[in-house]
Amino acid sequence: DVKVTQSSRYLVKRTGEKVFLECVQDMDHENMFWYRQDPGLGLRLIYFSYDVKMKEKGDIPEGYSVSREKKERFSLILESASTNQTSMYLCASSFAARGSQPQHFGDGTRLSIL
């Protein structure tokens, strides 16, 4: 079974802190994604990566950056956390073929910024 592991289920940070969310997948997937999920807004794509060191902005990249130094690991970075970044963050991975493969999700990180 594919496993996508997010480093924390719950995280509490303070405004202005630099926050790292880590995601690891064990299926050698080329594509990895970071979403945030908010009530009534569904899933919104923050960033995705289709190869090591390659990344593309999603719909809401402002205030975030990402890092993919190894194929299995995709990190989301909140450069200076703000309260409006309190949310559920979901990582996903898939094989490469554009849009034709299902995504496999981690269990999410519920991040609170105080």
Partner 1 sequence: SQQGEEDPQALSIQEGENATMNCSYKTSINNLQWYRQNSGRGLVHLILIRSNEREKHSGRLRVTLDTSKKSSSLLITASRAADTASYFCATAPVSGTYKYIFGTGTRLKVLA
Contact partners, residue 60, CB within 8 Å, separation at least 6: 36, 44, 45, 46
Contact between 100 and partner 1 (CB under 8 A)?
yes
Distance CA 77, CA 48 (A): 13
Contact between 1 and partner 1 (CB under 8 A)?
no
Q: Smallest distance, Å, CB 3 to partner 1?
A: 11
| Sign of torsion over alpha carbons 94, 99, 102, 108 | positive
Which CB atom, from 46 or from 78, has the smaller least distance to partner 1? Answer: 46
Among positions 1, 40, 62, 69, the unique one binding partner 1 when judged by CB under 8 A: 40
Q: How many residues bind partner 1 (CB under 8 A)?
A: 26
Distance CA 113, CA 81 (A): 7
Q: Smallest distance, Å, CB 19 to partner 1?
A: 19
